[in-house]
A and B are shown apart, each in its own frame.
Chain A
């Protein structure tokens, strides 16, 4: 059984199709990054997973139950909305206390749990300040705290690092890495920070126009097309022509691009050809240095989401 399963889920708002036949499954204990441009359907997907919305068609199961079971499902699910709101008059400690109480944290453990979460999200010194005076980043931290204060087995976090300062982002990374370290907790979070997703996630789901364009382990997706980029720095800019010609003689080379200063050469090739390219060019010209890198998520994203995609979007 999976932590999350969606089978051909479709949701329309008037003329806009926010989710278009989404089929997806997430295994227990995985950390999943949800990518997509604005309006791709990420928030709509989260809202369906916690039962705030119901699909027009298709089936959804979270921790083995339909989200329409409502509170019964949310007992096992921690959800951080895109824009969490808190009552201005309450302090951070009081907010977390209420959340702990409603999440069923035993009274005897509640204070200690709240203190621990306050420390985890870096709000210990602001614990007794009213949330009305919080910055956007502090509000996000408190939002993260509200999902950590319970004991859910699935965490759904809608852009948890948006508006966070670097330290707040680091805190979030620490939290996710701790959870990913064999805790069995399934974490799904949306983000526009591709490097963050690449660093933290086991799997990536790429949504575009309400459809799942890509879903799979980060490593597999990055290496899916088997390409690698070799960047060379030439000792003599005058050798650029010869170096390019030499590189093109190697089988598996897909493209050669010269840098503006004439000293750099960027060669896209099949992974298996990388060493041959390097050796061949090195025989032809003198090199000052080189580096090779595999495609990152930015390139995967660019490959699957055309510029200007997701023109629709949920209301």
Chain B
């Protein structure tokens, strides 16, 4: 046995506990020292750091950053081949192509956030600790979000560097806005995938549901919305709600705002209904926050 601890408390090394029992110092560290009780925020930070460390150890952050960089630099490089190339067109191209890539990457990053550790037994071990399920969930989301968002900022940011070199610095602000909005959109889809993970019983089902979300938001939602607009000619507020109901439409509207380009698809109809920037930003914030709140509730009720 290891050396005896130096904790010798009052009453001959024993300390009376609130429940009437006593705890005494032993060689393996059971002792009288009071726990440095961490706030819930501190526990969230610990879980998030752990999650980030796991991703970093697996080089997930580097891989994601490289993926975003290849995408962004590639689009910029191809766009720069045109003689009339300009930042507006580059950003519009990135938005239209990013609508496929960004949610897909985010969904893949988050779909196993809960169900994966549950299947491996890691979640059971973690929840044996004095932390709440909500704390574990929020910490997990923050850890994965920091990996995803960091990779997005760096990878897409490299595209900005390439655009500045090839096209000049005139449109850097628009590009910067695109990077920020794309990153926020990635966070929204990460939150959605974590919600899926908190609801699913198996990893394969979570992956299937995450891909279902991608199909819905990327392909079906706009198709149906365009159909509704064409067939029913609904009033502006209805169109606005339809636009806000898809984070990718919010992404389009925010990223293309102020650019000298014409939105395509349902975003073209939604761009004329007066959705202000604060409303769009608030909608994106809701898309990030609400799934996490619902996922935390689901996690609390989940039978492990």
Contact = CB atoms under 8 A, between A and B. Distances in A.
Interface of A: 1, 3, 28-29, 50, 52-53, 63-65, 70-72, 74-76, 78-81, 83-87, 89-90, 94, 98-99, 101-107, 109, 113, 116-117, 119-120, 130, 143, 146-153, 174-175, 178-179, 181-186
B19 A178 contact: no
A53 B122 CA distance: 17
B278 interface: no
Given A75-B35, A81-B125, A3 B21 contact: yes
Contacts of B120: 85
A86 B20 contact: no
Contact of A103 (B31, B35, B123, B303): B35
B23 A105 contact: no
Q: Which 7 A-B pairs have the closest CB atoms?
A: A85-B121, A104-B35, A64-B19, A28-B21, A89-B57, A79-B128, A184-B22
28 contacts: A52-B124, A74-B128, A74-B131, A80-B128, A81-B125, A83-B124, A84-B124, A84-B125, A87-B117, A89-B53, A90-B54, A94-B53, A98-B46, A102-B129, A104-B37, A106-B35, A106-B36, A107-B36, A117-B29, A119-B2, A151-B31, A178-B27, A178-B28, A179-B26, A179-B28, A181-B26, A183-B24, A184-B24
A214 to B, nearest CB: 25
A89 B131 CA distance: 22
Nearest to A107: B36
Given A72-B130, A80-B128, A94-B53, A151 B24 contact: no
Given A87-B117, A106-B35, A184-B24, 18 more contacts: A1-B19, A3-B21, A75-B37, A76-B19, A78-B128, A81-B128, A85-B117, A85-B124, A87-B54, A89-B58, A101-B46, A102-B129, A109-B33, A116-B3, A143-B125, A148-B30, A151-B31, A179-B26
A106 B132 CA distance: 20
A117 B1 CA distance: 10
Contacts of B36: 104-107
B215 interface: no
A2 to B, nearest CB: 9
A87 B21 contact: no
A103 B129 contact: yes
A28 B22 contact: yes
B258 interface: no
A64 B18 contact: yes
Contact of A116 (B2, B46, B125, B304): B2
A45 to B, nearest CB: 15
Given A81-B124, A85-B124, A184 B23 contact: yes
Interface residues of B, number: 49
Contacts of B125: 81, 84-86, 143, 146
B20 A64 contact: yes
Nearest to A50: B128
A277 to B, nearest CB: 43
A3 B20 CA distance: 9
Contacts of A83: 121, 124
A28 B159 CA distance: 64
Contacts of B82: none
A228 to B, nearest CB: 35
Pick the most buried of A1, A101, A148: most chain B CB atoms within 10 A of its CB: A101
Contact of A71 (B122, B123, B131): B131
A86 B53 CA distance: 13
A183 B13 CA distance: 9
Secondary structure call for the B interface: loop
B14 interface: yes
Nearest to B117: A85
Nearest to A142: B125
B127 interface: yes
A185 B234 CA distance: 69
A285 B47 CA distance: 74
A175 B28 contact: yes
Pick the most buried of B1, B3, B129: most chain A CB atoms within 10 A of its CB: B129
B117 A149 contact: no
B43 interface: yes
A1 B20 contact: yes
A139 B169 CA distance: 55
Contacts of B130: 71-72, 74-75, 102-104
A9 B3 CA distance: 41
A79 B124 CA distance: 10
A148 B36 CA distance: 16
Given A102-B129, A109-B33, A153-B17, A185 B38 contact: no
B23 A183 contact: yes
Contacts of A52: 124, 127, 304
Given A85-B117, A86-B125, A117-B28, A70 B132 contact: yes
Contacts of B1: 120, 174-175, 178
Pick the most buried of A80, A98, A181, A183: most chain B CB atoms within 10 A of its CB: A183
Interface string B126-138: 0111111001000
Contacts of B3: 116
A133 to B, nearest CB: 13
